A = this chain, B = another copy of it.
């Protein structure tokens, strides 16, 4: 799919605030309400817009502790890898998991309430997954930037 400037601006606006009415969007884009409506439906149909979600302020639900965990597997057989990825994806504390290049195999982003909860997560959940060789954790001191919006 090819995007014109209006599509790009529309995607930008919807990534900032998806609760804007089509009328508000039409004013910002100098378009009619129907035109906005049609463009959005097209973007949804094509799968460009994946879904609409509510974003929660972590601090308000006592989930202010962020850690990144590097993980190295013992072995890299197909079976081990598939099992590990499935198990990790099922852990609710893990919000992101990437297979990466470099010294370690995986990088996980973990969100919990505090260091004690993180310790429990490591001992009871993460390291109870088999095939994990070594881990290395880094703790977030300060979240400088975090956005879900990607420039089109």
Contact = CB atoms under 8 A, between A and B. Distances in A.
Nearest to A44: B54
A32 interface: no
A138 B100 contact: yes
Interface in A26-74: 46-58, 60-61, 63, 66, 68
A95 B52 contact: no
Copies in the complex: 2
Interface residues of A, number: 59
A78 interface: no
A55 B102 contact: no
Nearest to A16: B53
26 contacts: A11-B56, A14-B53, A15-B53, A18-B52, A19-B51, A19-B52, A49-B57, A50-B54, A52-B52, A53-B148, A53-B149, A61-B150, A63-B150, A88-B145, A92-B151, A95-B149, A96-B143, A97-B146, A98-B141, A98-B142, A99-B140, A100-B138, A100-B139, A100-B141, A101-B138, A101-B141
